[in-house]
Structure 1
Amino acid sequence: MRNQHRTDYWTFVRLLPKPAYAHLAVEDLVTDHAQAAYCLRCETCILFRKGQNGVKKHMVKFHMDHLATYASEKEKKREAEVTLTNAYSKRDPQSASKVVAVSPQQQSHVIELLALWIAGSLRPLSTVGEKGLSALIRYLTSDLGGIEMKLPSRTQVRADITQQPAELRASLKSKLVKECGYYSVTTDIWTNRTARSFLALTVHYLTCEFQLCNLTLEVEHFPGRHSGAAIAEGMSSLLKRWRLDLANCTKLLRDGASNEVLAGNLLGIEHMSCIAHSLHLVLAGLLIKKRPTPSAPALLG
């Protein structure tokens, strides 16, 4: 959002636009369009009015330790950039050779690999604009490799990351159609710290060459009651989405909860409890400390 002062606490806070401006792109929003601020650390909405210091007060009161850590890391990063810049500026000018530009196909592949790295390692999009990374790439390409290559902008990387999941889904669906005849599935429901639940689906099958494939296809938000009927409906929906015929499912692996058992029965497929989960329940029960039972004489006084 433009017109937003870039002090340290804005690293942890984002402004939320008013409903009338929700259709605008992020780069077109200004502070006048904001109705509230949102803290990424404690997931709390903060009253925001231009010219007031509600955001600063919130950060100082509740997240002073995060501010101190961020300031320390920023200073270390600045020192590292200075060191890298000095090292880069001291390179031998005689070592520079004729620079050749990469082809459009090669440049496109670079953007794709960079997007995969950023998304796969959960790095921020701002990584592409870091001076240290730019200096390193420039040294490896221009000075050592003799090629000219441009680092993509944040917008280019965002567009590529947005496109990749759809391409990956299409590729996996094609792979399943070609390779997967009969299969088994593993499912589990996981709840995070904010009480949001997710339904996971992993498929297991053998190819014609007897190679075992394990693919986690979905980790999808699963709101509402976790009844057996709801779980069965969610599982059926996910299998249809991936074009997996329920009749070809040889086994469903689940946890030992009664709602999971009911879901397996409603789906009409063979199912069993996960051995590791069953052992955990048994051992956890054995390890629970029990209060000693008073002896008979003690009870009689």
Structure 2
Amino acid sequence: MAVWSFMSIISCFKVKCLLCHKELTYSNNTSSMLRHYRALHEHAQTTVNPQTSQISKKEMVNEALVNMIIKDSQPFSIVEDAGFRELLQVLDPTYVIPTRKALKGMVENKYRETKEKTREQLQKVVSVSLTSDMWTSLHMDAYLAVTCHFIDEEDKLCTTLLDVQHFPKCHTAENLATGHMKIMEEWGIKDKVKCLVTDAAANMIACVRTLNVRHAICIAHALNLIVKKSFDDISSFNEIRTKCRKLVTFFGTSTTAKERLAQVQEQMGRPVLKLIIEVDTRWNSTYNMLERLHQLREPVGAALASLRTDITPPTALEYEAVQDALHVLAPFHQATVELSGEKRVSASKVIPLMKMLHHNITNKSEGLNTNFARQLGDSLVQRVREKAVHLETLSVMTIQYPHYWIPDSKKSDF
């Protein structure tokens, strides 16, 4: 009997039993899997009705198909694709592939089942915090997304997306508050929300005030505004940035230029990398664009020399200015990445992080070679100082210990 009929590889060193879902150690042999199967499942499999076994296997394949659709964001129409159908036919000729409509129903059932489990989980927690954001799709449709964060019974930080709902109404504070309230009532967490994190938009701030819950500004969003406003303060930097963006766009839109850049990198014995274009809504995309362009400055220059174009690369002095700017912006990039993590509580890091940014940028500004980079550093220091002072006044960013929590022997230390 092929034991792999009842096992599934989940990592390089682990497999999972499809019958009881137990995870087993795997080291390139089936000994442990055979022992597990013979000890727990062999007798049950020999006495089970073959028709029942076939139904059970069909259910397992259906579940795997549904999970693939959800995890990989695949369209329901995949079950109509010839290549996909041929693959399943080879893997299991007896499996009847569900129709597109049937698959949609299976995914909807999975959603309802998962939603009910999450609702039950939320009923057991004492408090939650929410993150809310408004965003626009490629077709210019507005959506409200609300994410919930909480500590489960095993003291693990959990995050779950509660809703992404179409929001065709005007984005007034009243409409936003109504939308948030409906989501909180639907999930049974209306009285458990201890904090709502949003951007600094006036309608969002007024919305939270209407809901009468504690409010916190997204610090990653605040850092984005700090850096973008500092960019706007320095016209010389924006001139270099515009020149770099035009150059990157040329290599991104010209097939000939893109292929030539790849060839030059290969001839230089370098790994073939692509240039990165910035996105207006994320300052760190500008950092990534400048960093990659500075890294590929020699291949880019060589590729341009062999192409018919009036686009010129940055000069040596401009590349030096870019290098200085990257030196100044590196701590902000690291801070943005740290604050964007989902598996760690970031609020407790905000005040120390802002202090570290202020100290770091102050020290780095002293060793810069280009005037505009020093101006950028000064602007960043000033804006961080203003933001840090504001954050230190927010109770949500600090932990205050009542005096009766402090042992008498320790009170003298405070």
Equivalent AA in structure 1 for residue 186 of structure 2: R
Equivalent AA in structure 1 for residue 84 of structure 2: L
Equivalent AA in structure 1 for residue 110 of structure 2: Q
Q: Which runs of 5+ in 2 are unaligned?
A: 1-49, 237-414
State TM-score, norm by structure 2.
0.42
Which of the numbers 166, 175, 180 marks the counterpart of 2:112?
166
The alignment status of 1:109 with 2:53, answered yes or no, reads no
Offset at 1:161? 2.2
The alignment status of 1:244 with 2:189, answered yes or no, reads yes
Hey, what does 1:125 align to over in structure 2?
Answer: 76
What SS does the corresponding residue of 1:103 show, helix, strand or coil?
helix
Q: Is the 8 A contact 1:203 1:214 kept in 2?
A: yes
Offset at 1:193? 3.4
Residues 14-163 of structure 1 aligned to structure 2 (within 5 Å): 102-141=53-92, 148-163=94-109
Hey, what does 1:51 align to over in structure 2?
Answer: none
What SS does the corresponding residue of 1:283 show, helix, strand or coil?
helix
Residues 213 and 291 (structure 1), Cα distance of their counterparts in 2 relative to 1, 3 Å cut:
closer
Hey, what does 1:260 align to over in structure 2?
Answer: 204
Q: Is the 8 A contact 1:228 1:260 kept in 2?
A: yes
Question: Residues 171-215 of structure 1: CA distance to partner in whole angstroms, max 9, x if unpaired?
Answer: 21122113x211111111112233321111111111232110111
Q: Is the 8 A contact 1:251 1:269 kept in 2?
A: yes
Hey, what does 2:149 align to over in structure 1?
Answer: 204
Hey, what does 2:214 align to over in structure 1?
Answer: 270
Residues 215-230 of structure 1 aligned to structure 2 (within 5 Å): 215-230=160-175
The alignment status of 1:288 with 2:239, answered yes or no, reads no
Which runs of 4 or more aligned residues in structure 1 lie more than 4 Å from their structure 2 counterparts after TM superposition? 99-102, 289-292
Question: Residues 104-138 of structure 1: CA distance to partner in whole angstroms, max 9, x if unpaired?
Answer: 13212322321231244233333223333333333
Counterpart Cα distance in 2 of 1:228 and 1:155: 39
Equivalent AA in structure 2 for residue 176 of structure 1: L
Counterpart Cα distance in 1 of 2:86 and 2:139: 40
Counterpart Cα distance in 2 of 1:290 and 1:279: 17
Between Structure 1 and Structure 2, the one with more helix by share is: 2
Question: Residues 131-158 of structure 1: CA distance to partner in whole angstroms, max 9, x if unpaired?
Answer: 333333333336xxxxx43333334323
Q: Which runs of 5+ in 1 are unaligned?
A: 1-98, 143-147, 293-301
The alignment status of 1:233 with 2:178, answered yes or no, reads yes
Residues 125 and 237 (structure 1), Cα distance of their counterparts in 2 relative to 1, 3 Å cut:
closer
Q: Is the 8 A contact 1:102 1:149 kept in 2?
A: no
Counterpart Cα distance in 2 of 1:134 and 1:193: 31
Counterpart Cα distance in 2 of 1:119 and 1:209: 26
Equivalent AA in structure 2 for residue 164 of structure 1: K
Residues 100 and 225 (structure 1), Cα distance of their counterparts in 2 relative to 1, 3 Å cut:
closer
- Alignment identity in percent? 26
Residues 231 and 125 (structure 1), Cα distance of their counterparts in 2 relative to 1, 3 Å cut:
closer
Equivalent AA in structure 1 for residue 155 of structure 2: F
What SS does the corresponding residue of 1:261 show, helix, strand or coil?
helix
Hey, what does 1:25 align to over in structure 2?
Answer: none
Counterpart Cα distance in 2 of 1:125 and 1:228: 37
Q: Is the 8 A contact 1:101 1:149 kept in 2?
A: no
Counterpart Cα distance in 2 of 1:268 and 1:231: 13
Counterpart Cα distance in 2 of 1:135 and 1:191: 38
Q: Out of 149-158 and 165-174, give the one that drifted further.
A: 149-158
Counterpart Cα distance in 2 of 1:126 and 1:269: 43
Residues 197 and 131 (structure 1), Cα distance of their counterparts in 2 relative to 1, 3 Å cut:
closer
Counterpart Cα distance in 1 of 2:182 and 2:127: 18
Between Structure 1 and Structure 2, the one with more strand by share is: 1
Q: Is the 8 A contact 1:228 1:259 kept in 2?
A: yes
Residues 225 and 136 (structure 1), Cα distance of their counterparts in 2 relative to 1, 3 Å cut:
closer
Residues 136 and 273 (structure 1), Cα distance of their counterparts in 2 relative to 1, 3 Å cut:
same
Counterpart Cα distance in 2 of 1:155 and 1:259: 40
Residues 150 and 193 (structure 1), Cα distance of their counterparts in 2 relative to 1, 3 Å cut:
closer
Residues 181 and 229 (structure 1), Cα distance of their counterparts in 2 relative to 1, 3 Å cut:
same
Counterpart Cα distance in 2 of 1:199 and 1:269: 18
What SS does the corresponding residue of 1:186 show, helix, strand or coil?
strand
Q: Out of 117-126 and 254-263, give the one that drifted further.
A: 117-126
Equivalent AA in structure 1 for residue 128 of structure 2: Y
Residues 101 and 188 (structure 1), Cα distance of their counterparts in 2 relative to 1, 3 Å cut:
same
Residues 225 and 209 (structure 1), Cα distance of their counterparts in 2 relative to 1, 3 Å cut:
same
Between the two proteins, the alignment pairs up a number of residues equal to: 187
